[in-house]
Structure 1
């Protein structure tokens, strides 16, 4: 079966009534955890972006505390998993300011992490790539936000 395009889906959904749309949405939510998480964000979290950011930061804090610090192998695996989860939450929001704020928080946590990431090339390169990515995204924001978040980025670059 070939998947329909977004335009085709949009046209078809316009012809559905409210009950049918509700049934389709609930059925879609049953199939994938990400679909359910996206619906949760859209229905409950999108109205208050600051609470959403704080809940993600708390989750990232907890994940950093649970990292096995005995070997850089396990540290790399855990850090990549945290970043993958963070990118998923950023994708749900779609807000550039949220994206930059969460990535800055991730870099701050990685910067403060012990044993230091400077001892491992892969972790240090991951950190540097995130800083470059943040710098590119920063140009898309309003000037005031660019300045505030740029100051935080410069502190991380001095690391």
Structure 2
């Protein structure tokens, strides 16, 4: 089965009554955990974006090991979860706050990548994503986020 386009889905959803729309949302939430997480964000978490950022940062803290080195599998898992949470929000400021916090944890905790070039490249790709996202926010915010980034780019050298 080929999926319908967003505009087709929107036109169909507009025609549904309240009960049918509620049923469709519940069926969607039951089908996949990702759908349920997105629906949770949209309905409950999006009203308080700073609390959502704090919650995601707490998740990152729990997943980063206390040791001074990190395995690439662990790093991949953290980045995958972090990217999913950022996609749920869709807000550039939220994305920047989360990514900068993630990178700052490596500097603050003194975590090294050792000889693992893959982990160092994943960290470098986060820095590139931060730079791209900074370009898309308001110029006043760009200065603030660049200040937050101080010292992060020299960490992988």
Same fold (TM over 0.5): yes
The structure showing larger relative contact order (alpha-carbon pairs under 8 Å, at least 6 residues apart) is 2
Q: Does 1:51 align with 2:55?
A: no
Residue 126 of structure 1 and its aligned partner are, at CA, apart by: 1.3
Matches within 5 A, 1:8-27: 8-27=8-27
Task: Give 1:123's aligned residue.
Answer: 119
Structure 1 segments of 4 or more deviating over 2 A?
Answer: 69-72, 110-115
Residue 134 of structure 1 and its aligned partner are, at CA, apart by: 0.7
Contact (CA 8 Å) 1:111, 1:117: kept in 2 or not?
no
Contact (CA 8 Å) 2:93, 2:137: kept in 1 or not?
yes
Report SS of the residue matched to 1:156. Answer: coil
Task: Give 2:36's aligned residue.
Answer: 36
Task: Give 2:78's aligned residue.
Answer: 82
Contact (CA 8 Å) 1:110, 1:127: kept in 2 or not?
no
Contact (CA 8 Å) 1:117, 1:123: kept in 2 or not?
yes
Contact (CA 8 Å) 1:110, 1:117: kept in 2 or not?
no
Determine which structure has the larger helix proportion and give its number.
Answer: 1
Contact (CA 8 Å) 2:60, 2:78: kept in 1 or not?
yes
Residue 155 of structure 1 and its aligned partner are, at CA, apart by: 2.1
Structure 1, unpaired ranges of 5+: none
Change (3 A) 1:12 1:150: same
Residue 154 of structure 1 and its aligned partner are, at CA, apart by: 2.8
Report SS of the residue matched to 2:150. Answer: helix
Report SS of the residue matched to 2:119. Answer: helix
Q: Does 1:95 align with 2:81?
A: no
* Length, aligned pairs only: 155
Task: Please give the root-mean-square deviation of Cα atoms over the aligned residues, in Å.
Answer: 1.8
Matches within 5 A, 1:101-120: 101-120=97-116
